Amino acid sequence: MADRVVQQGHEVQGWLRVPQPFCSVNVIETDGSVFNESLTANDPDFLASSELLIVTLKAWQVSNAVKHLAGILPDTTPIVLVHNGMGTVEELRGVKQPLLLASTTQAARRDGNVIIHVAQGTTHIGPAKSYEGDYSYLAEVLQSVLPDVAWHNNIHSAIWRKLAVNCVINPLTALKGCKNGDLRDYTQEVAAICREVAAVMEREGIHTSAENLLFYVEQVIESTAENISSMLQDVRASGIQRSTTSPVFCSTAPAPTASPYRKTPAYLN
């Protein structure tokens, strides 16, 4: 996303875990065009005057990072959280800045130090909770950067759909040792997880069906067919399997009567 934001004339900086004055952004777009630039990084003065903070970390990394940056960021600057998994908003109750959630079907993969944008998609964005201010203008800003972007006054259905995708793709690819697209060969497992996540969603008041979730998950599997999931990358790098906030979050939700969904977290982890 940083490349698109720069190309639209916005000032952008990155924030690295290990502080450095610059960060390299190397992107190959879907049309084959190449973006290769060094951007400012870890500049507190830049952060203190920023009008928007976009956080694209893994869910378990978000809380500590945002709490640190929020101490520098203006109280009125919106923070957009773009990640798989849930539960981070609860961890950020003390943050003064407005929190927004985003879910995207834009597909990319990493090849060394290069990010390859492999498929266009839709980004859904909305407030994490009720705020006095109207932040729907951010959808227009982001639409000009990385279309398509849709604003939701209630973002939680979109976040739960992305949760379903994460509950399917990450653990199954890690267990099977395969690319996302190879999950086409595991239709029974994919459908079973969709049924279980749908049961949890209904219990949480999010109207859906297993069929709708399965259709959505299969679309993502197709658009990211050549990708290697983050969990499988972690497994290959460390030799051990990690759990994610997605199945863990589902495992802490109240169980619907006679629902077998609690089997999923144990199976996935």
Counts of helices then strands in the chain (DSSP H, E): 11, 10
CA-wise closest residue to 245 among 89, 119, 111:
89
User: What's residue 67's pLDDT?
Assistant: 96
What confidence tens digit (pLDDT) does each residue in 188-238 have?
999 999 999 999 999 999 999 999 999 999 999 998 999 999 889 888 887
The reported pTM is 0.82
86/88 Cα distance (integer angstroms): 6
pLDDT of residue 128: 93
Average pLDDT on 92-106 reads 94
pLDDT score of 107 more than 50: yes
User: Is residue 259 predicted with pLDDT exceeding 60?
Assistant: no
Q: Is the pLDDT of residue 132 over 60?
A: yes
Measured CA to CA, the distance from residue 88 to residue 93 in angstroms comes to 9
Q: What amino acid is encoded at 60 in this protein?
A: W
Q: What's the rounded Cα separation, in Å, for the pair 208 and 228?
A: 28
- Please spell the DSSP secondary structure of 179-198, one letter per residue: -GGGGGG-HHHHHHHHHHHH
User: What are the structural domains, with CATH classification, of the chain?
Assistant: 2-154 (3.40.50.720), 157-268 (1.10.1040.10)
pLDDT in tens, 35-50: 999 999 999 999 999 9
Angle at 172 between CA 90 and CA 219, to 5 degrees: 85
pLDDT for 117 beyond 80: yes
Strands 34-41 and 22-28: antiparallel
Catalogue the active-site residues.
Answer: 162
Locate 246 and state its tokens. 């997605």
Half-sphere exposure of 241 (CA within 13 A, CB side): 14
Position 258 scores a pLDDT of 38
Q: Tell me what the pLDDT averaged over the chain comes to.
A: 87
DSSP class per residue in 72-138: TS-TTS-EEEE-SSS-HHHHTTT--S-EEEEEE--EEEEETTEEEEEE---EEEEESS--SS--THH
